[in-house]
Structure 1
Amino acid sequence: MYLGIDLHKRYAQVAVMDLEGEIVEEVRVKNANLDDLAQRYAGSRAVIEATSNYYHVYDTLAEYLDVTVAHPGKLTLIARSDKKTDRVDAKELARLLRLNSVPQSYVPTDEIREARALVRGRQTLVEDRTKFANKIHGLLADNGITQTVKPLSVEGREFLRELSLPSPWDSLLDSYLDVVETLTEQMTQLEAAIEERAGSLKETQLLMTIPGVSYYSALLVYAELGEIDRFDGHKEVVSYMGLNPTIRESGDSRIEGGISKRGSGRVRWILVQSAYSAVYTCKDAYLSTFFHRLNRRMNSKKAIVATARKLLVSMYYMLVREEVYDPPGVSA
């Protein structure tokens, strides 16, 4: 049997298709009860989409079924359906599975899931803290205070605590500052856990031998890349991270555009920041030489993105060969 499972937050719509392509059962099941369904069809194949909550469902189903995780962005047949409902989606998933036409998504190991949870959790805290810092800036503007203040710094918060504002802005400011301080404490605790995790993994230990790559940067790249042996070469890694240039060909013309920006934006950002650090702070000879050579014939923004791509390629070969950073022509 082929089970197409359209997964939602609390329930799933399931279509069961036989070898001849006939639907033998359609049922809506609570996610908590999917293991009962999986036991009934033990040994069959199933497909789910890589939604935000698929890890637990995948683990539950995989005890009894051969589970494929579909890449949601590549399921164009479902996305373009004229009649899009849960039942239609589930049947289409089952049909694609029967035809071996499901665009598969990578399912990370438990170790990589844990690393992702840590780095993504930190990003959430950073975003939340920035949101409340912006609220504070808005509150100050509402009260005609134009002085530059940094709510994320200790000095800035001390200054803001001393401000005398009319009600209710005084209470709001205190509340926002309390949230910022709480989030800052939580970030400090989480960063300690990230540093400990990065120090315990051989992959991140290798990446941290690169000038400009911190424990957080290393764990983020490792978490988002996953197992390095799933890539056939550095070009696949560059494309997976969206740092490959887009190319448009028509007749005899060939135009290279900007990078594709597929994959994780957070990794592209951290690679660019690490490249900046390697070039300007650490003055790494290998990456600095590459950057400055490019910067003579293109703007610095494009040059640093190309340097980030160069950095990613170095990371790939370091992980594949299990070698520390030792670029050609430069002594580590």
Structure 2
Amino acid sequence: MYLGIDIHKRYAQVAVMDDAGELVEEVRVENANLDDLAQRYAGADAAIEATSNYYHIHDTLSEHLDVTVAHPQKLNVIADTDKKTDRVDAKELARMVRLNSVPESYVPTDEIREARALVRGRQKLVENRTEYANKIHGLLSDHGITRNVKPLSVTGREFLAELSLPVPWDELLASYLELIETLTAEIKRLDAAIEERAGSLAETQLLMTIPGVSYYSALLIYAELGGIDRFDGAKEVVSYVGLNPVIRESGDSRFEGSISKRGSGRVRWILVQCAQTAVHTCDDEYLSRFYDRLAGKKGSQKAIVATARKLLVSMYHMLDREEVYDPPGVSA
């Protein structure tokens, strides 16, 4: 039997096909009861889509079924139907798993999931804190206060705490400041957990031998890339992160454009930050030499993106070979 399981927040639509491609059963099941269905079809092949809540469902089903997780974007490209309903999607998944044509998505290990939860959780807290800082800037602007105040700095918050605004904006300001203080404390608490986690993993310890790579950036890169052995080479990692240039060819002409920006924006962002630090703060000889040569030809922005790509290639080889940072042409 072949099961196509279209997952939603509280329920899943299931289509079951036999070897001949005939539909055996269609049923809607509460997610909490999927284990019973999996036991009934134990040993069968199944496909689910990589939705936001698929980890737990994948683990539950995998105890009884051979589960393939489908990549959502690739699935939309190759699915041969224009109709999008739960029943149609479930049947399409069943058809594809029967034909062994499911575009697979990476399923991270528990260790990777935990690392992702930490770094993504911290990122969300930082985004929330920035949102309240922006609200304070807007509030000050509305009252004609043009002084450059940084609500995320201690001195900035001290100034704002003493600021006198009319009712009810004074209450809003006090509320925003309290939320920023709370979020800052929570970010520091997560930082401690992230530092401890990064220090305990062999992969992140290797990455931290690179000048400019901190425990946070190392854990983020490790978490978002996942197991390095799932990539066939450095080019595949670069493409996965979206740092590969878009190439267009027409006749005898070949044009290399900007980067594709596919994949994880988190990794692209942190790699650029690491490259900036390595070149402008740590004076890393290997990366600085590459950056300086390129900046003179293409400008600083393109040069730093290319440097981030070079840094990622180095990271891939380090993790693949289990070696510390030791770039060619640089004396120890």
The answer (yes or no) to whether the contact 1:78–1:84 under 8 Å persists in 2 is no
Provide the secondary structure at the position in 2 that maps to 1:43. Answer: coil
Cα offsets for 1:207-233 (capped at 9, x unmatched) = 000000000010011111111111111
The answer (yes or no) to whether the contact 1:2–1:44 under 8 Å persists in 2 is yes
Provide the secondary structure at the position in 2 that maps to 1:15. Answer: strand
Aligned-residue identity in percent: 80
Partner of 2:167: 167
Partner of 1:263: 263
Number of matched residues? Answer: 332
Which sections of structure 2, spanning at least 5 residues, go unmatched? Answer: none
Partner of 2:128: 128
Which sections of structure 1, spanning at least 5 residues, go unmatched? Answer: none
Partner of 1:154: 154
- The residue identity in structure 2 corresponding to 1:146 is T
Tell me how far apart the structure 2 counterparts of residues 132 and 277 of structure 1 sit (CA, whole Å).
Answer: 27
Tell me how far apart the structure 1 counterparts of residues 78 and 236 of structure 2 sit (CA, whole Å).
Answer: 26
Provide the secondary structure at the position in 2 that maps to 1:297. Answer: helix
Tell me how far apart the structure 1 counterparts of residues 145 and 13 of structure 2 sit (CA, whole Å).
Answer: 54
Partner of 1:64: 64
Change (3 A) 1:48 1:290: same
The answer (yes or no) to whether the contact 2:5–2:47 under 8 Å persists in 1 is yes
Provide the secondary structure at the position in 1 that maps to 2:297. Answer: coil
Provide the secondary structure at the position in 2 that maps to 1:177. Answer: helix
Partner of 2:7: 7
The answer (yes or no) to whether the contact 2:79–2:92 under 8 Å persists in 1 is no
- The residue identity in structure 2 corresponding to 1:38 is A
Tell me how far apart the structure 2 counterparts of residues 220 and 103 of structure 1 sit (CA, whole Å).
Answer: 25
Deviation at 1:145, TM superposition (A): 1.3
The 5-angstrom pairing of residues 172-191 of structure 1 reads 172-191=172-191
Tell me how far apart the structure 1 counterparts of residues 82 and 275 of structure 2 sit (CA, whole Å).
Answer: 46
Change (3 A) 1:78 1:293: closer
Tell me how far apart the structure 2 counterparts of residues 124 and 178 of structure 1 sit (CA, whole Å).
Answer: 18
- The residue identity in structure 1 corresponding to 2:171 is S
Partner of 2:303: 303
Provide the secondary structure at the position in 2 that maps to 1:182. Answer: helix
The answer (yes or no) to whether the contact 2:119–2:194 under 8 Å persists in 1 is yes
Tell me how far apart the structure 2 counterparts of residues 256 and 17 of structure 1 sit (CA, whole Å).
Answer: 46
Deviation at 1:82, TM superposition (A): 2.7
Deviation at 1:331, TM superposition (A): 2.4
Partner of 2:25: 25
When normalised by structure 1's length, the TM-score is: 0.98
Cα offsets for 1:74-125 (capped at 9, x unmatched) = 1125777332111111111111111111110000110011001100001000
Runs of 4+ in 1 over 6 A off after TM superposition: none
Provide the secondary structure at the position in 2 that maps to 1:296. Answer: helix
- The residue identity in structure 2 corresponding to 1:153 is S
When normalised by structure 2's length, the TM-score is: 0.98
Tell me how far apart the structure 1 counterparts of residues 92 and 124 of structure 2 sit (CA, whole Å).
Answer: 34
The answer (yes or no) to whether the contact 1:206–1:324 under 8 Å persists in 2 is yes
Partner of 1:73: 73
The answer (yes or no) to whether the contact 1:279–1:288 under 8 Å persists in 2 is yes
The answer (yes or no) to whether the contact 1:78–1:89 under 8 Å persists in 2 is no
